Amino acid sequence: MKSLFSYIGLTITLFLVSYQLSAQDFYKEKIPRNYYYQGGIGLGTMYADNGGSIRMFNVKVRPSLSGAVGRKISRLVDLKTYMGYQNFQSQDIDYFNPNVVNLWKEWGQAVESRGNVFYMDLMPTVNLFKSNSHTDRKDFNLYMGTGLGVLINFSNETRLENENRVTTSHDHFAAYIPVRGGISYRLDIYSDIAIEGSLMFTFSDHLDGNEGFNRFNDHLLNGQIIYRRYILSRKSMH
């Protein structure tokens, strides 16, 4: 009989503990997760004087990575801080008309270049569908935003000097206006996956070491697959 009461007591205790944990989990689900982090990987290129023709898809596509932290500031708007990396490589010298190459040689412009671009920007993002918290967001959503950022390109630039190819290293800083948008899919209550595209309109025409051949400044573009995870703020954890 004593063992029976012990068994019943243990069962009741386990039930109460399980109920309490379930109640705590339910309570946590009710706390809005208005913060999130995300990471992305994809491919990108640059609209550059020696980069080739984007219109004809004659450009070299290189790896691109990004990370971001975001916060929901209203039912429609998020505020995001992005950091990212993009590799760039120009077209080979044989791609261009010899007359163009001769002009670049006379003007001291880079006939080839490659670089590693690191960038950071801040932008508000507008979502198509409203949500109060992570629990009631739609399965699919569209979003787009713009902001302001800065970047640095660590480049190796090749010029022609007396029929010799001379390669030198350079650091180029530039401010830019990012335009970024994508479509996201809800994987579960805490995470999304998205396809995202970015255009970075810079205020510099010298990121590739070549200036004035194209009509516009040098601009970066990329497409990435994004994983996003919603988290509690530190205040909500206590």
* Confidence at residue 130, expressed as pLDDT on a 0 to 100 scale: 87
40/24 same-domain check: no
* Confidence at residue 18, expressed as pLDDT on a 0 to 100 scale: 44
171/186 same-domain check: yes
* Confidence at residue 138, expressed as pLDDT on a 0 to 100 scale: 87
* CATH code for position 224: 2.40.160.20
138/24 same-domain check: no
* Confidence at residue 14, expressed as pLDDT on a 0 to 100 scale: 40
19/62 same-domain check: no
Q: Which residues of 191-217 are buried (b: 16+ CB within 10 A; e: fewer)?
A: ebebebbbbbbbebbbbbbbbebbeeb
Q: Give the domain extent around 10.
A: 1-30
pLDDT tens track of the chain, all 238 residues? 545 445 444 444 443 334 343 444 444 556 777 899 999 999 999 999 999 898 888 899 999 999 999 999 999 999 999 999 999 999 999 999 999 999 999 999 999 999 999 999 999 999 999 887 767 788 999 999 999 999 999 999 999 998 799 999 999 999 999 999 999 999 999 999 999 999 999 999 999 999 888 889 999 999 999 999 999 865 554 5
160/209 same-domain check: yes
- Could you write out the DSSP letters of every residue in 42-62? EEEEEE-TTS-BTTTTBS--E
14/76 same-domain check: no
> How many angstroms separate the CA atoms of 174 and 152, rounded?
6
| Cβ–Cβ under 8 Å, residues 207 and 153 | yes
224/153 same-domain check: yes
12/123 same-domain check: no
Q: What length is written for the chain?
A: 238
83/133 same-domain check: yes
94/70 same-domain check: yes
107/210 same-domain check: yes
Quote the number of domains for the chain.
2
219/183 same-domain check: yes
> How many angstroms separate the CA atoms of 132 and 135, rounded?
8
